[in-house]
């Protein structure tokens, strides 16, 4: 039977449901494009949005059919579909919150069973109310009556469950997330209450959509790592800027653990212990997910809190809980300071100090660390300028050298060139302060070429003055060797200074990389044809592959001081090191011992097949101009 019905009593506008459908479609498109981890949470988000679209559609069709006089069965079905879908949306919302709130599986099942049971009971009761004419029904004359709506009770039950779950498990999320979830749900309740006051149902679906939008913004665009309970590290600078502008001090605690994120996902035991630690210690602070291995906790300092005691307790708890997992860690502690120029520098300072630390250490950032960081920033700016200027005679690059004693000639007629920087603000800067900076920022190659150019110029001056210089070695990194133009550049610089090729030696360290080894072999073979000598540096430390050494025709093998020290300990060590030296001698390699510090070292080395000695026994590193003194000395008898 199809009859013309009277207008439905509560006021209604299609605007609210149309907006919900449009927004859900847009968000669905965005999620499909940006949410890369297609896990259970992603599927819940998709289901939430699809169900909201379905509920909004049912709501529109219900009111449209009601107003135009459609079949009664369709009216009942659209009405039931609208409310049932909204109820399932609330249930999915609870299911989504289970992970970020770390709700145990057994408790989550209780929520699920309760919601399914409540829905079934409410549907049954609604049918009873329809039959008894106490709920929504259409009378024999085609008039629609809006009686008692049991779905409001179901909504209240779900709302109480949501607030109960969020409040009960609030210790497992940071306060910003907690307040966000609570506030949005309160706004939804207020919106529904205003509707009820004005006897309107236009924005019912909108009110249900607000919590869904909330979890999308909190746990997806602001990447909230559910495994660690941490927000994206990109928001740390915002908090620092806000606090510092208001004169509020922060305490920063940063922890780096190898493979932390992957381990916590794979190990239930580690996850459980982490959750316990989190609940006990991360209460008022904000936890940031800096990288796959690093989290950082920021705490706003208050005058009535003993933060030294708090930090000590957290470190103690950490050591107690994580010792059983044997995970390497670094812990850094830092407070906001007037010595730090910009809020953006805090993360950089922590990175800088972290790079210098060994694993399984705890360090509090000091004024010296901050000063060293800004010195490194200044050094980097100077290195970048040196590279940009491309001046082979740049005065900021200074050549030092360490004389090398030639046993055959009885004098220091060779040397190793050593790089220094002389900068306006800091004076002399040593390699350990700038080499790693230059390598990390791809500046080392130009510095190496400046060193080679200045070394060749010094050799040219020595030869012009008739001084018997045999050769000077220049250190090159594997980064230099990778350049296709390396051989051409080296040859060009030597030619420009008009010195014999055999007056220059290229000193390199063996690489573990197969690709780098093959490139190194090609470069050595190409330059050796010109007469350039090659040194293998640091033999005996780290990685030494005899097969590869034999493939590359080095001229001199430099034995690290550690081999000298070991050979003096006992006869077995001496036999091993002396055998190495004898073997290289028979293969026509010259052996050079580094770190010869006294006459005892000299006598010990001379027992082995060695041709060159280098160390403080002969000279500390000196400006290359002072090498003249050694070249002018008479041979020792």
What is the pLDDT, as a whole number, of residue 1? 38
What per-residue string of b and e applies to 25-37 under the rule 16 or more CB within 10 Å gives b?
Answer: eebbeebeeebee
Chain-centroid distance of CA 533 in Å reads 42
| Helix-helix angle 367-389:345-356, to 10 degrees | 90
> In the chain, pLDDT over 70 holds for what percent of residues?
88
For 194, other C-beta atoms within 10 Å of its C-beta total 12
Confidence of residue 266 (pLDDT cuts 50, 70, 90): confident
Q: What is the CA radius of gyration of the chain?
A: 38
Class level of CATH domain 393-417+444-632: alpha beta
User: What is the rounded average pLDDT of the residues 496-509?
Assistant: 93
Q: Any residues with CB less than 8 A from the CB of 169 and at least 6 apart, and which?
A: 101, 102, 103
- The architecture (CATH level 2) of 15-219 comes to Up-down Bundle (1.20)
For 358, other C-beta atoms within 10 Å of its C-beta total 8
The closest of 248, 296, 100 to 180, measured between CA atoms, is 100
For 463, other C-beta atoms within 10 Å of its C-beta total 16
User: CA-CA distance, 584 to 556, in Å (whole number)?
Assistant: 9
pLDDT at 109 over 90: no
Cβ–Cβ under 8 Å, residues 599 and 633: no
Cβ–Cβ under 8 Å, residues 622 and 587: no
Cβ–Cβ under 8 Å, residues 82 and 60: no
Could you tell me the CATH superfamily of domain 231-365?
A: Reverse transcriptase/Diguanylate cyclase domain (3.30.70.270)
3-state secondary structure of 47: helix
Kindly report which listed range (24-28, 52-56, 254-258, 299-303) carries the lowest average pLDDT score: 299-303
Residue owning tokens 């010109």: 530
Alpha helices (H) along 498-557: 514-528, 546-551
Residue owning tokens 């060695």: 610
Per-residue model confidence as pLDDT tens digits over 538-594: 786 655 566 667 778 889 999 989 889 988 888 888 999 999 899 888 888 899 999
> How many Cα atoms sit within 13 Å of 527 on the Cβ side?
33
Per-residue model confidence as pLDDT tens digits over 175-219: 778 888 899 999 999 998 898 888 888 898 999 899 888 888 777
Average pLDDT, the chain: 85
At 266, list the tokens: 């794979």
Please report, for the chain, how many H helices and E strands are present, in that order. 23, 18
> In the chain, pLDDT over 90 holds for what percent of residues?
38
At 209, list the tokens: 């959509």
Burial of 507 (0-12, 13-18, 19+ CB in 10 A): buried
Confidence of residue 5 (pLDDT cuts 50, 70, 90): very low
3-state secondary structure of 635: coil
Cβ–Cβ under 8 Å, residues 326 and 291: no
User: Does 15-219 match 393-417+444-632 in CATH topology?
Assistant: no
pTM of whole model > 0.75? no
Cβ–Cβ under 8 Å, residues 258 and 200: no
Taking the CA atoms of residue 190, residue 191, residue 197 and residue 202 in that order, the dihedral angle to the nearest 10 degrees is: -170
**Which residue(s) pair with 364 in the sheet?**
333
* Domain residue spans of the chain: 15-219, 231-365, 393-417+444-632
């Amino acid at each position: 039977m199809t009859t013309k019905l009277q207008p439905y009593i509560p006021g209604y506008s299609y605007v609210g449901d149309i907006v919900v459908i449009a927004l859900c479609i847009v968000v669905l498109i965005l999620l499909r494009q940006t949410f890369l981890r297609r896990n259970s949470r992603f599927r819940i988000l998709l289901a939430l949005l699809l169900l909201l679209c379905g509920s909004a559609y049912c709501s529109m069709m219900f009111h449209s059919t009601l107003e135009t006089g459609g079949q009664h069965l369709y009216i009942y079905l659209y009405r039931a579909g609208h409310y049932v879908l909204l109820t399932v949306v609330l249930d999915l919302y609870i299911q989504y919150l289970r992970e970020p709130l770390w709700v145990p599986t057994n408790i989550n099942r209780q929520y699920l069973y309760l919601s399914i049971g409540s829905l079934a009971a409410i549907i049954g009761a609604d049918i009873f109310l329809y039959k008894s004419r106490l709920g929504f029904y259409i009378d024999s004359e085609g008039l629609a009556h809006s009686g008692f709506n049991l779905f409001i009770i179901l909504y209240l039950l779900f709302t109480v469950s949501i607030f109960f779950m969020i409040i009960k498990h609030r210790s497992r999320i940071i306060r910003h997330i907690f307040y966000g979830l609570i506030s949005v749900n309160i706004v939804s309740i207020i919106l529904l209450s205003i509707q009820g006051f004005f006897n309107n149902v236009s924005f019912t679906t909108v009110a249900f959509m607000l919590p869904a939008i909330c979890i999308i913004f909190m746990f997806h665009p602001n990447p909230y790592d559910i495994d660690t309970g941490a927000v994206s590290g990109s928001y740390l600078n915002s908090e620092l800027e806000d606090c510092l502008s208001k004169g509020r001090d922060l305490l920063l605690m940063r922890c780096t653990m190898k493979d932390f994120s992957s381990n916590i996902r794979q190990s239930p035991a580690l996850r459980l212990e982490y959750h316990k630690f989190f609940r006990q210690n991360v209460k008022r602070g904000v936890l940031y997910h800096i990288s796959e291995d690093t989290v950082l906790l920021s705490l706003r300092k208050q005058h009535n809190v003993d933060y030294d005691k708090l930090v000590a307790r957290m470190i103690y708890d950490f050591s107690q809980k994580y010792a059983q997992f044997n995970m390497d860690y670094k812990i850094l502690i830092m407070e906001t300071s007037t010595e730090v120029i910009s809020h953006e520098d805090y993360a950089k300072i922590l990175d800088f100090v972290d790079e210098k630390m060994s694993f399984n250490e705890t360090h509090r950032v000091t004024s010296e660390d901050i000063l060293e960081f800004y010195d490194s920033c200044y050094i980097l700016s100077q290195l970048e300028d040196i590279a940009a200027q491309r001046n082979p005679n740049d005065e900021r690059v200074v050549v030092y050298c360490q004389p090398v004693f030639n046993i055959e000639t009885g004098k220091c007629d060779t040397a190793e060139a050593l790089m220094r920087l002389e900068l306006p603000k800091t004076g002399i800067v040593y390699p350990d302060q700038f080499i790693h900076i230059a390598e990390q920022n791809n500046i080392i190659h130009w510095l190496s070429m400046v060193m080679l150019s200045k070394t060749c110029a010094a050799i040219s001056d020595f030869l012009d003055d008739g001084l018997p210089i045999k050769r000077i070695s220049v250190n090159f990194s594997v980064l230099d060797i990778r350049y296709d133009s390396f051989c051409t550049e080296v040859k060009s610089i030597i030619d420009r200074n008009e010195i014999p090729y055999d007056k220059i030696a290229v000193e390199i360290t063996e690489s573990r990389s197969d690709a780098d080894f093959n490139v190194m072999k090609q470069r050595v073979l190409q330059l050796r044809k010109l007469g350039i000598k090659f040194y293998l540096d640091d033999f005996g430390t780290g990685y030494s592959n005899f097969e590869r050494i034999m493939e590359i025709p080095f001229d001199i093998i430099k034995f690290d001081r550690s081999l000298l020290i070991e050979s003096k300990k006992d006869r077995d060590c001496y036999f091993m090191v002396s055998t190495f030296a004898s073997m290289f001698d028979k293969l026509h390699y010259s052996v050079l011992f580094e770190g010869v510090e006294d006459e005892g070292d000299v006598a010990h080395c001379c027992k082995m097949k060695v041709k060159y000695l280098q160390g403080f026994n002969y000279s500390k590193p000196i400006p290359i101009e002072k090498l003249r003194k050694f070249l002018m000395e008479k041979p020792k008898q």
